[in-house]
Amino acid sequence: MNAAPPVIAPLSPSAAALARSAQQAIERGAWDEAVQPLNGALALQPGHPQLLRLSGLLEQGRGNLANAVGLFAHLHRSFPQDAALANHLGAALALAGRMDAAIEAFRRALELDPALLDAAYNLGRALDLRGDAAAACAALEHALRIDPHHPPARVLRAESLKKLGRLAEAEQALRALLHEDPGAVAAWVALANLRAFAPDGADLAAVGRLYADPRLDETQRIDLGFAYGSMLEAAGRYAEAFDAVQAANAAKRRRVRWDAAAVSALVDDILAAFAPPAPADADATRGHGAIFLVGMPRSGSTLAEQILAAHPDVSGGGEREDVVHVLHQESARRGRRFPAWVAEADAADWRRLGEQYLQRSAAWRGDRAHFTDKTLTNWQTLGAIARMLPGARIVHCVRDPLETLWSCYKHHFGEAQFFTYDPAELAAFLRDCTRAMRTWDARHPGWIHRHDHEALLAQPEARTRALLDACGLAFDAACLRFHEARREVHTASAAQVRRPLQRRVPLAERYGALLDPLRRALDAPG
């Protein structure tokens, strides 16, 4: 027999008035305004569950996530049958990056109350962020059974369908939402990012009207600007596309922090740290089967991984942060940032770190003999990978520099890749990547395979065979039919890799002099 829930004393009139004032401020995101009334209410009735819940929301809003998790965990233990508290705990855990625990909390909330819309939607978001598109889609369909008209769930479900390769269903879902609400910015952005649909005149007119609407806030205008540029490009209206993309990048750059000189200095430090010979390691095979794809974003890396993942002996891992996570943990243990401690690490340390990576990757790589890790910025950590996992293979994905820069510049990466929103900074990052890869290649001859996107388009079978051979794989004709591979793809190229290879006129040629700012950035000394 379940115990009766604890009886909660009501707030006094004075405490209730202060709590209402604090809650209103929290709902507006006016975190500082909420502090005084909430503290006043707590002084009147310390530890009251309603006030602790508001405290958790306030701490979460102010970015004090450990405090928020602690408060909601305490409340959840005290009131284990309260679905809303389980959902609050899940939200705080998700923001803190503890995704597995967050998913568990959201699922507990739904067990307690299957009709709790926020928990169903939050579960879908968490599963999507963890990279499980199929489970995310199921959770979002649960949310839509509760509220079939919930716009965020409809958009995120369409994104999940795209990752699963169900492109027609994704477009249909987004079209249905836009039919009901032509002003749904998120739906237009998702549709433009689908890259499997051809915008018609009505689409462009609708987005153009929305883009000109002065009521859009800056975040919406940035999102829509990138989407509108993509649609205009697809329609061959290159001058207008460039203007929209340039305006979106300028607005986005004002909102992010990026120090290109600091990044270049860090790359210098990393290269210098790994210049001395590596400690002797008796196990040259550790990491055999791991294939790391590195390079710039939008360099054809998703296509390269799709080709490899079509092989029956390869599991496609997608973008992972496991190497960086292992190095960060080691930095925390030593109390020194990477690469300052590299000279102190001996062969046993590198072996230990390699085993940590293999343990982490075991959760997602499956039981096939080979697996891919497409964390592109691992070009910065190849010195560490060479010592941690000497048996691993490296694929450097490259593309025409101008095409690479334009493809990055016109794409909205959200809260990632902050170097892409300014031509000079974008070109500086490419130069850092290029010089680092030259250095690693010189230090480890024959270890890195250069996979050229344009060469693949010109000679698909020959370059596919070369890629497979470099990764220690026998040729398999399924790799030429990569677009038929059934796997989740979580990058911006998710729709493109579902289609066979196509040779087209390079986009840079179609823009002509409009891309001169990018050309000048590429030619600048650095």
- Tell me, what CATH number does 181's domain have? 1.25.40.10
Contact 294, 440 (CB under 8 A): no
pLDDT at 279: 92
Please tell me whether residues 372 and 304 are part of one structural domain.
yes
Q: What percent of the chain has pLDDT over 90?
A: 83
CA distance 198 to 157: 21
Please tell me whether residues 243 and 177 are part of one structural domain.
yes
Q: Is residue 411 part of a domain?
A: yes
Averaged pLDDT, 322-344: 96
Q: Is residue 90 part of a domain?
A: no
Domain finish residue from 255, 272, 306: 255
Return the axis-axis angle of helices 185-194 and 201-211, rounded to nearest 10°: 140
Please tell me whether residues 345 and 426 are part of one structural domain.
yes
185-236 pLDDT tens trace: 999 999 998 866 678 899 999 999 999 999 999 999 999 999 999 999 999 9
Q: Is the pLDDT of residue 22 over 50?
A: yes
Q: Is residue 30 part of a domain?
A: no
pLDDT at 1: 35
Please tell me whether residues 376 and 476 are part of one structural domain.
yes
Q: Is residue 413 part of a domain?
A: yes
Q: Is the pLDDT of residue 495 over 50?
A: no
Please tell me whether residues 426 and 287 are part of one structural domain.
yes
Q: Where residue 503 falls among pLDDT bands split at 50, 70, 90?
A: low
CA distance 51 to 496: 50
Neighbours of 20 (CB within 10 A): 14
Please tell me whether residues 233 and 335 are part of one structural domain.
no
Return the structure tokens found at 298.
Answer: 């939008």
Q: Is the pLDDT of residue 494 over 90?
A: no
pLDDT at 497: 45
pLDDT at 118: 97
Q: Where residue 319 falls among pLDDT bands split at 50, 70, 90?
A: confident
86-130 pLDDT tens trace: 999 999 999 998 999 999 999 999 999 999 999 999 999 999 988
Please tell me whether residues 244 and 385 are part of one structural domain.
no
CATH number at residue 478: 3.40.50.300
Q: Is residue 31 part of a domain?
A: no
Q: What's the structural domain count of the chain?
A: 2
Give the structural domain span for 417. 283-523
Contact 474, 175 (CB under 8 A): no
Averaged pLDDT, 303-330: 93
Q: Is residue 455 part of a domain?
A: yes
The full length of the chain comes to 526
Q: Is residue 42 part of a domain?
A: no
Please tell me whether residues 305 and 184 are part of one structural domain.
no
Please tell me whether residues 251 and 287 are part of one structural domain.
no
The contacts found for 252-256 with CB under 8 angstroms, 24 or more apart, are: 252/222, 252/412, 252/421, 253/421, 253/422, 255/218, 255/222, 256/418, 256/421
Please tell me whether residues 241 and 290 are part of one structural domain.
no
Q: Is residue 394 part of a domain?
A: yes
Backbone angles phi, psi at 373, to 5 degrees: -130, 110
CA distance 89 to 301: 37
**Coil, helix or strand for 185?**
helix
Please tell me whether residues 395 and 305 are part of one structural domain.
yes
Q: Where residue 4 falls among pLDDT bands split at 50, 70, 90?
A: very low
Domain finish residue from 210, 235, 255: 255
pTM: predicted TM-score of the whole model, two decimal places: 0.84
- What integer best gives the mean pLDDT of the chain? 92
Q: Where residue 8 falls among pLDDT bands split at 50, 70, 90?
A: confident
Q: Where residue 487 falls among pLDDT bands split at 50, 70, 90?
A: very low
CA distance 151 to 132: 21
Please tell me whether residues 326 and 404 are part of one structural domain.
yes
Specify the DSSP element, H or E, that contains 293: strand 290-295
SS3 content of the chain, % helix, strand, coil (to 5): 65, 5, 30
Q: Is the pLDDT of residue 311 over 70?
A: yes
Q: Where residue 134 falls among pLDDT bands split at 50, 70, 90?
A: very high
